[in-house]
Amino acid sequence: MNTKDIQETLTQQKRAKKLAYFLAVYTIVITATVIYMAAIWIGIKVTKTDTPACESAPVTIEETKTTIASWYDYELAGVTWSEDHRTAASREFERGIIVEVTNSTTGRMVIVLINDYGPDEKIHPDRSLDLSSYAFAQIADLQNGLVEVEYREIGPGEYHPL
């Protein structure tokens, strides 16, 4: 293929994308019109309201707390999982909860899934989070070992035990 053929192919692809977008919008408009007309035909009064048809539940922002976080390596724990898991152990949250963890000094943030209980309060009373090595590396240098973090619950996630 020469340059002219490549340019022509790209132009055709752009036209195809524009046509697909137009058809999608057109289909939505036609569908909405048909639904509107059917509602009028069967006698449903259609009026515009200021209230959305589906109101979402109020969003609550959980309180931000501060703690010292450490990290652990799955190989050390004897667990064989992928190295790129953003997970954490917590004695405060149940398994399956998603938590936002922010380095108090740098502002770097990571979202983690709680998948284990720990750290042990008798051994580490000042810590309430152990991050996976991958999650810890997202917010601090692993050589630091410990970092002060702010954390808050985001909500439930999907927990898949081994």
pLDDT digits (tens, 9 = 90+) for 99-112: 999 999 999 999 99
Q: What is the mean pLDDT of the chain?
A: 78
Least confident of 40-49, 64-73, 133-142: 40-49
Whether residue 27 sits in one domain with residue 74: no
Most confident by average pLDDT, 13-27, 34-48, 85-99: 85-99
Among 125, 126, 150, 146, which Cα is nearest to 66's?
Answer: 150
Q: Cβ of 80: how many Cβ atoms within 10 Å?
A: 8
Whether residue 20 sits in one domain with residue 45: yes
Asked which of 54, 78, 95 is the last residue of a domain, the reply is 54
Whether residue 122 sits in one domain with residue 48: no
The neighbouring-strand residues paired with 147 are 69
pLDDT for residue 162: 43
CA angle 84, 155, 131 (to 5 degrees): 35
The pLDDT-based confidence of 148 (bands split at 50, 70, 90) is very high
**Strand, coil or helix: what is 91?**
coil
Whether residue 49 sits in one domain with residue 22: yes
Residue 118 lies in a domain: yes
Higher pLDDT, 23 or 158: 23
Distance between alpha carbon 128 and the CA centroid of its chain, in Å? 22
- What range defines the domain where residue 79 resides? 65-156
DSSP state of 46: P
Residue 101 lies in a domain: yes
Higher pLDDT, 152 or 83: 152
pLDDT at 72 over 70: yes
Whether residue 31 sits in one domain with residue 107: no
Residue 73 lies in a domain: yes
Q: How many CA atoms lie within 13 A of 145 on its CB side?
A: 0
pLDDT for residue 62: 65
- Angstrom distance (rounded) from CA 89 to CA 97: 11
Residue 60 lies in a domain: no
Residue 59 lies in a domain: no
Least confident of 16-25, 50-59, 134-143: 50-59
* Structural domains of the chain, count: 2
- Angstrom distance (rounded) from CA 46 to CA 94: 46
Phi, psi of 134 (to 5 degrees): -65, -45
Least confident of 19-23, 43-47, 139-143: 43-47
78: left (phi over 0), alpha (psi -120 to 50) or beta: left
Higher pLDDT, 122 or 83: 122
In this prediction the pTM is 0.58
pLDDT at 59 over 70: no
pLDDT for residue 104: 94
DSSP state of 53: S
Whether residue 83 sits in one domain with residue 28: no
Distance between alpha carbon 116 and the CA centroid of its chain, in Å? 19
